[in-house]
Structures are given as C-alpha cells and as structure tokens.
Amino acid sequence: PALRALDADFQCPDMRFHYTPQELFDGLDRLGAKGRAQLMRLWWADTGLSLSLLAVMAAAAHNSMAGLAPLPTAMDAAACLRAVADLLENALLAHAVSAYPGRRQEGTVQMAAAVTAAKWCLTGLWVAGLFGGLVLRAARL
C-alpha cells in the first residue's frame, strides 16, 4: 500500500512473471528515492518470508505426500530451488535499485527477471506436484 500511494500503477517486479529493465527503471523513477528505500526494506522482509514459506512448503509436502516416494523429495527440491531463486532475485533487485539512478544495471535486472520467472515456474511445479500427489493419495484410498 505504501508503494501504491507513491505510484498507483506500480507493480512490484518480484510479483510479476516477466518484466524488462526499462519497466523496472520507469517504476523506480515514479517511486522516487522514498519509494526505492521502501522497496529495499520490502526485499529484506521478503527474505524472511521466503525462508518461512520454504518451511511451510516442506511441511505441506511431507504431511500430504507420506508414502508416495519419491514425490516428497522432488517437492522438497522444487521448494528449495524456489527459495534460492527468491533470495537471489531479492539480492539482484536490491543491487540494481541501490545503484539507481546513478547507474542502470540492465544486465543485473535482466538476470533478476529470468530468476523471477524461474521462481514462478518452480512455484507452479510445486503446486502441481502437491495436487498430483493428493490425487494419487486419494486414488489409493
């Protein structure tokens, strides 16, 4: 909400599947220095959220997939890779934002955008695994 107060059209890049460096830099211009500082705090908080989500994803997989080896292991791998992608995404975006507006880190933002897309793909894969496992488990009953 605080970022939307500065720019009603702002979309946090890590909540989108794809973004370009220009889209990010245009948003950073509209947010100004105050908004960029808020983004940096948001990504610090997101670091804790990413680790908490990893714990929830692991617990959900193990509680709902018991007896469906190797599905829980595969889901743990997807959850861990997703968390690594989220942490890397935060670091890359924070690096680009901290250098802006003095330097436009286009390569860093392109890498962050690719990592963001990978994060969302891994999230989708994990959710598909969860539902697939639940269907398999129900079929065994």
Enter the tokens of residue 125: 């894969």
Residue 16 DSSP SS3: coil
Would you say residue 136 lies in a domain? yes
Per-10-residue mean pLDDT of the chain, 141 residues long, equals: 81 93 95 94 94 96 84 93 98 96 97 98 96 89 67
- How far apart (Å, rounded) are the C-alpha atoms in residues 137 and 75? 15
CB-based burial label for 139 (10 Å; 0-12, 13-18, 19+)? exposed
What count of other Cβ atoms lies within 10 Å of the Cβ of residue 21? 17
Show the domain range for 136. 17-140
pLDDT of residue 8: 83
> What single DSSP character describes residue 15?
G
Asked if the structure places residue 3 within a domain, the reply is no
Contact yes or no for 119/86 (Cβ under 8 A)? yes
* Domain total of the chain: 1
Q: The whole model's pTM is what?
A: 0.90
**Rounded Cα gap, residues 47 and 32, in angstroms:** 23
The answer to whether residue 107 is domain-embedded is yes
Provide the pLDDT for residue 1.
Answer: 63
